[in-house]
Amino acid sequence: MPTIVLGLSGALGHDPSAALYIDGHLAAAAEEERFIRDKHAKNRMPLEAARFCLRQAGVSPADVTLVAVPFAPIPLSSPARWHFARRYWYAPDRALDALLNGNRRYRRYRGRIFELLRTLGIDPRRIEFEPVEHHLAHASSAYHLSGFEGKTAILGVDGKGEYATTFFGYGEHGRIHKIKEFYDPDSLGGLYGALTEYLGFEMLDGEYKVMGMAPYGDPDRHDLSRLLDCDGRRLRVNTRYVNTVGMRRYKENGKGFYFSPRLIEWLGPRRRGDSADQPYIDYAATIQALYEEAVLKLMDHYLGDILRETGRLAFSGGGALNVKLNQKIIARPEVRELFVQPASGDAGTAVGAASHALVQRGIRPEPMEHVYLGPAYTTEECLAACQRHPQRPRWERVADIPQQVARLLADGHPVAWFQGRMEFGPRALGGRSILGCPSVAGIADRINEQIKFRERWRPFCPSLLDRVRPQMFKVDHPAPFMTFTFEVNDAWKSRVPEVVHEDGTARAQALERRHNPRYYELMEELERLTGNGVVLNTSLNRRGEPMVCSPDDALEMFFGSDLQYLAMEDLLISKPGPPRG
């Protein structure tokens, strides 16, 4: 009988997800937000995601042998709870709660998981249940899925799990060894998140916007070093300014923020609106530089010897989605191979908890080579969605969708691209994408203003043929998941300017044909038409919405924007209006 493991995340109140392994094969994984159409699905459980995973794998609830979750009880003997209590002395209710009732959140989460299992038809009494420490789940999602052989350094950075915020360790012979953890409130993810709120964005959602704003600013114009004490061995966040709780929090219209009034007094009022102006662009540049410097110092101290020995690093946690940091890491001479878990945020911990549970039972998970793990729909299902849609879309069934779409792109049209299985994780990688031709002047601004309705200064990313990667970038490193930025060679900056950011870099997906043949064919055809095997790629959604999942979602987004064309499986869909060309 196969070992069937269902991983379920969502303990921290955001980004619930589900993943299902059959022995070592990851059969399905998806985020709850995509099904319920609520970005980050805050305070929800992964019910629809779990239903999908079971259905996709052809597994009945009675077949599940093990449920793993990325949240575990932390004993009072651990330094984590004592550190938390000592650092939050100014909020005695929080401090005492950590000591006297420190696993309250775990017990509540376990109760919600058991209720979810009963809703799914899984009897909690008849399965194994394995809670995995949050950062251990992050570590497993990176190390066990990296495909690396031999000793591997492991890095984890995020806001926090149970108490831990930052993880340093190594993997060898399938086993993960902890070297060092830091605990709340000493959190680099929390510090970056607090500045994200100050800069006018939402924590857990806007950090990548701060990263996108940073290249427009000057990191040397302001000194933010008082926020953080980090010499490589030590990490201590200044809670008089950030990572605050209780009465120390700045409040506005009844909402509390993760920074204090002192930060406002020091730096000025919170940023508002969509503009990228001073001093806020300089603050963004400075916090990005401070974050990079701290992570690299800590990495050198705790993992330097291992990296010099092996050259391999596996990285996960929400902080691993900071692609500018990842660019700095792969530039290090001691780092020869870097695997960044593509779903590095908390959604990926469903995979991490499940993979960790498998390894504990002697089963090795397959390497993660792609993230096409969500639902797929047939052309007939897409056609049925068109026929019932009230806007009565115009459609034609074509045999050469990649070639047709490539011609539209070369003619300057953006096209929505809905093909195959939905991606797991935050990046659109050719399953649920909006595409443009990166050599067409102004296409990025047009997509920003008329389709995505997002800030003008936000960059777009390239998808490219894998054989183009060494020509386009100054560093040759695999890039299947858009988890790195690369400095673009000068000749390519003028060839594909719409996907080159302000600082001359691009966050890239270099695709191998075997993982998405239809998307690869589209780029080959675009190369034949324009000379460049590169396409502008952004997620198929509007601002503030999750990436689309179903044909109905795609049509709703299509008719809610200025998109003129939607390629949905073998259907080319258009709105009533002028003909092509």
**pLDDT greater than 60 at residue 56:** yes
Contact 308, 334 (CB under 8 A): yes
Per residue in 351-368, pLDDT (tens digit) is 999 999 999 999 999 999
- What's the whole-model pTM score? 0.96
Average pLDDT on 282-302 reads 98
Strands (E), 382-428: 394-397, 415-418
The H or E element that residue 505 is part of is strand 505-507
**pLDDT greater than 80 at residue 455:** no
Which of 153, 298, 304 minimizes the C-alpha distance to 234?
298
The pLDDT of residue 207 is 95
58/285 Cα distance (integer angstroms)? 48
Average pLDDT on 167-188 reads 98
Amino acid in the structure at residue 197: E
Query: Which residues lie below 8 Å from residue 489, measured CB to CB, with a gap of 6+?
Result: 471, 472, 473, 474
**pLDDT greater than 60 at residue 59:** yes
Q: And the tokens for 95?
A: 């401090």
**pLDDT greater than 50 at residue 581:** no
Amino acid in the structure at residue 322: N
Query: Which residues lie below 8 Å from residue 578, measured CB to CB, with a gap of 6+?
Result: none
Which of 403, 387, 443 minimizes the C-alpha distance to 567?
403
Paired strand residues for 435: 415, 537
The pLDDT of residue 578 is 56
Please spell the DSSP secondary structure of 227-262, one letter per residue: GEEESSS-EEE-TTTBS--GGGS-EETTEE-SB-HH
Domain ranges of the chain: 379-574
**pLDDT greater than 60 at residue 487:** yes
CATH T-level fold of 379-574: DHBP synthase (3.90.870)
The pLDDT of residue 577 is 66
Contact 39, 6 (CB under 8 A): no
pLDDT band at 459 (very low <50, low <70, confident <90, very high): confident
Q: How many CB atoms lie within 10 A of CB 75?
A: 9
Strands (E), 76-174: 128-131, 152-157, 164-172
Average pLDDT on 411-436 reads 98
Average pLDDT on 364-377 reads 98
Per residue in 80-138, pLDDT (tens digit) is 999 999 999 999 999 999 999 999 999 999 999 999 999 999 999 999 999 999 999 99
Between the alpha carbon of residue 276 and those of residues 216, 222, 236, 319, the distances in Å are: 8, 16, 30, 23
**pLDDT greater than 50 at residue 47:** yes
**pLDDT greater than 60 at residue 435:** yes
Which of 39-43, 205-209, 329-333 is predicted with the least confidence, judged by mean pLDDT? 205-209
Mean pLDDT of the chain: 96
Catalytic-residue membership of 177: no
Average pLDDT on 177-183 reads 98
